[in-house]
Amino acid sequence: MGTSLREEMISLSLFGGRLALAELILFSVFLTDILLLGIMGEINLSGVLLANAAFVLCYVTALGFLQGALPLAAQRFEAGDRSGYHAIVAMSLLLGGGMAVLVLLIFLVFPVALRLFDYRPDLIAESWRYISWVLPAYMLAMVYIPVRNGVIATGSSRWFLTLSLVTLVLNAGASYVLGFGISLGGLTITGMGTSGIALASTIVDSMLFAGFVWLLHRSGFRLSGIPVDALTARRWPVVRRQLAPAMAIGIPIGIVFFVDSTLFSSALMLAGRHDVQGMAAIGLIFEWSALAIMVPVGLSEAIVQRVASATGNDGPQRTTIAVITRAALMVCSAYVALLAFIHFGLGINVPVYFIIDAAAHPDLVARLDDLALLGFLVAAFHAVIIVLAAILRGLLDVKTSMVATLVCYWGFGLGLTALFVEILRLDVWYALLAVVIALATSTAVIALRLRLRLRMPRDAA
């Protein structure tokens, strides 16, 4: 018997809520760095935002690419096929390791790329000062994704909040101590500035990764659980056979996430070539948007697991998936309404509060106020897209999201951004407007596809 709408909303809210809060807290680790860097100065902030823009592009692409294994692992786990679950997770871990090596190569040549695009030398130097110490954390993040997905596939999110909270507290303390220095009695630690904050992130992220490895072990994953191939008496052929089905889902999702991230990264980098303060303003707005969408990101992971498990079960699948869809949309709508209340009802422009010493940066605050409405629309549309695409992804329907993002983000978004900023040399307000137009058109296309997709089984019946 299928679950009721109320039961499904409660289930999604509890499971997805824990994931969402964990995502929020983990993202706050990066936000802590931004707040501390804002104290140091705009050049410190801009240099790190530039590096993080490139990292977010890598991380989000890897997140999408490795998402292909999540619904498959969830289906195998739900069906009781533990051997298949072990093989899929192992394959995903290998892919994560390969992406870590790719991230290393990308950031080793990052300063050279910045010079080719004529960025200011002091901005490049500050960016590299951060990268040289945070690079191990960047690489570890690529392997963290499949480890975390392996735990989520089991339907468990216990300990997520605890690990995330501990990480946030440790990072805040370590970043302050290593970034600004401290003197207590006979103990004196000299602050390392931007490099110290980056080093703190590397240390704390390594501890977080160890915690999730422990959770994966608790969930029952073992390399020894991978079955041995009957012909070769080796485990590798079994792992390799999981690659094709995972890539059939993961590659389109990776393209979607890559295109999604390039929309924001490109807008930021194009603005930075002509207006450093404008880049800082939209960079803070994108940080706020990224923080705001952590809730739908956590919810989307729960949706993929729930929909994939429902399609993997025998029984009233259509009813179950319809209920999950309605529940997901209602929870998402409530969240967007909350964002609207914060922005319009309370009149709070959140990115301004990311600047600790706002009084010392009146021009930056004024620009953030001018961009406030567009910043809200970025967060709202992005949240809806994530939830709609997650429902389709749980149904193993990923092509529409891929085409929609390619056309809307690169066609409308990047095309208009280049036109406004590079050709017409307009203000960063227009760069952000281009992003909003891209998100709005993509939302409409994906919503239409989901409506048609959910009606297809009923019409066929």
DSSP characters over 441-455: HHHHHHHHHHHHHHH
Query: Which has the closest alpha carbon to 398: 308, 286, 297, 298?
Result: 308
pLDDT of residue 172: 85
Amino acid identity, residue 104? L
How many other C-beta atoms can be found within 10 angstroms of the C-beta atom of residue 237? 14
pLDDT of residue 210: 93
pLDDT in tens, 166-199: 888 888 888 888 888 887 777 778 888 888 888 9
Look up residue 137 and give its two tokens. 């954390």
Cα distances (angstroms) measured from residue 302 to each of 11, 131, 324, 359 = 9, 33, 10, 41
Q: How far apart are CA 214 and CA 329, in angstroms?
A: 33
Does an H or E element contain 71, and which? helix 69-78
Q: Which residue has the tokens 């289930």?
A: 11
State the Cα torsion 244-298-354-138 to the nearest 10°. -30
Q: Which residues of the chain register pLDDT less than 70? A: 1-3, 26-28, 30-31, 38, 308-319, 456-461
Q: How far is CA 163 from the centre of its chain?
A: 18
pLDDT of residue 26: 67
Cα distances (angstroms) measured from residue 21 to each of 24, 77, 132, 233, 379 = 5, 24, 30, 44, 17
Residue 183's DSSP bridge partners are 188
Q: Is 276 helix (H, G, I), strand (E, B) or coil?
A: helix
pLDDT of residue 140: 92
Q: Which residue has the tokens 């069906």?
A: 79
Look up residue 330 and give its two tokens. 């209602």
Q: How far apart are CA 408 and CA 414, in angstroms?
A: 9
Amino acid identity, residue 288? W
Longest alpha-carbon distance in the chain: 78
Specify whether the CB–CB gap between 9 and 331 falls below 8 A: yes
Q: Which residue has the tokens 């709609």?
A: 388
Name every residue whose Cβ is closer than 8 Å to that of residue 67 and which is 6 or more positions away in sequence: 149, 249, 250, 253, 254, 257, 304, 393
| pTM for the whole structure | 0.72
Does an H or E element contain 272, and which? helix 243-272
Residue 182's DSSP bridge partners are 189
Sign of CA dihedral 343, 348, 350, 352: positive
pLDDT of residue 3: 61
